[in-house]
Amino acid sequence: MLDGETMQHEFEGEFENEFENEYENEFEDEYEGEQFGGSLLKGVSSSLGLGEGEYESEYESEAFLKQARKLASRFAPVLKQLAPHAARIVGTAVGGPGFGQAAGTIAGHLLREGEFEYEFSSEFEDEYELTGEFESEYEYEASPQQESLAEALAAAASQAESEAEAEAYIGASITRIMPLKSISMCRIAPNIVKGGAYLTRTLRKSRTTRPLVRTIPTIALRTSRTLAQQAAQGRQITPAVAARVMAGHTRKVLSSPTTTAKTLLNSAKVASKVSKAVPARERVRN
């Protein structure tokens, strides 16, 4: 059985060669991190390969669809291989090696069955009808401010200089977005943080997949929402349960190019809410 580290090395080798050259210069934006509202999110839109100000349009607009299609077609080849691998990594981190293997197998099986097969046009149109559901789900637990800060921290993680710094940002993003009101959620939070950290490491291995770090708050939020519902129904939340749920959401978000694209665009839009210019008074004080 493979542990998390071994799987990551395998993954690194596999994706580095295959996709590195293709997008080599696309995600070069340097993260400076001087001010949360200043240069922290400087590269958010450009790292997705889209012009600045393109997120100004409404979520439901034609421009959004166009951007999502563009992004989805870019990530589609990578995601097919990435999703089961990422699910396995998350399962291993949260629940131990056994759960990781099971999560990866299930994800791989579903992919083979064609449930998440890449059929861009029709799939996107179908999914787009469910946008309302997606949005309401997203807003379920976290307040807009919590959400935007968590997304901004994830954006910082995707552009951080080092792996360790990226994981620090993701850890903060997860505890920011998770509802920690019940004991069962507090108990499982460190496992979710660990899962997020391992997923960050996996996604940052390749420049191509690095922007996908921004999907982690969505995965963490959906996971905590599912776990909170299960806890409310009286089910015990064990690391095994959390591993299965988080691996499932990882697979769900990363196996479909359209879901991934929508998550990325939504993340950039939400994170931009905290990227307002820093007041002059604050700058002078520095």
Partner 1 sequence: MYQYELETNLDRGFQSEFETGVGEDREYESEEFFPLLAPLLGKVAPMAIKAIGGLLGRRRRRRQNEFEFESPQGEYEAEYEGEYESDPFIGKLLQGLGSMAGMNESEYEFEQFESTPASESEVLAEHLAHMAANSESEAEAEAFIGALVPLIARGFGAAAPSLMRAAPHLIRGAARAARTLYPNARTRPLLRTFPGILKKTASTLARQANSNRPIAQSTAVKALAGNVAQVLGNPRTTAQIMKRSRLIHAKKCPCCNSVRRGV
Q: Which residues are at the interface with partner 1 (CB under 8 A)?
A: 30, 33-37, 40, 145, 149, 153, 156, 161, 163-172, 174-176, 180, 183, 186-187, 189-190, 193-194, 196-198, 200-201, 236, 274, 279, 281-283, 285-286
Phi/psi for 142 (5° steps) reads -95, 140
Alpha carbons 249 and 236: distance in angstroms, whole number: 19
Q: Taking the complex as a whole, how short is the minimal distance between the CB of residue 281 and partner 1, in angstroms?
A: 6
Q: Are 182 and 228 in contact (CB under 8 A)?
A: yes
Identify which of residues 35 and 131 has a Cβ nearer to partner 1 in the complex.
35
Identify which of residues 67 and 209 has a Cβ nearer to partner 1 in the complex.
209
Q: Taking the complex as a whole, how short is the minimal distance between the CB of residue 266 and partner 1, in angstroms?
A: 20
Q: Taking the complex as a whole, how short is the minimal distance between the CB of residue 207 and partner 1, in angstroms?
A: 15
216 token code pair: 């982690």
Q: Taking the complex as a whole, how short is the minimal distance between the CB of residue 127 and partner 1, in angstroms?
A: 31
Measure CA 96 to chain center. 21
Measure CA 234 to chain center. 29
Q: Taking the complex as a whole, how short is the minimal distance between the CB of residue 16 and partner 1, in angstroms?
A: 18
Q: Is 46 exposed, middle or buried (0-12, 13-18, 19+ CB in 10 A)?
A: middle
Identify which of residues 71 and 155 has a Cβ nearer to partner 1 in the complex.
155
Alpha carbons 203 and 86: distance in angstroms, whole number: 8
Identify which of residues 130 and 186 has a Cβ nearer to partner 1 in the complex.
186
Task: Count CB-CB contacts under 10 A for residue 200.
Answer: 27
Identify which of residues 176 and 262 has a Cβ nearer to partner 1 in the complex.
176
Q: Taking the complex as a whole, how short is the minimal distance between the CB of residue 73 and partner 1, in angstroms?
A: 31
Q: Taking the complex as a whole, how short is the minimal distance between the CB of residue 222 and partner 1, in angstroms?
A: 18
Nearest to 253 by CA among 203, 219, 227: 219
Identify which of residues 102 and 192 has a Cβ nearer to partner 1 in the complex.
192
**Phi-psi domain of 29 (left: phi exceeds 0; alpha: psi -120 through 50; beta: other):** beta
Task: Count CB-CB contacts under 10 A for residue 256.
Answer: 23
Identify which of residues 67 and 224 has a Cβ nearer to partner 1 in the complex.
224
Length of the chain: 286
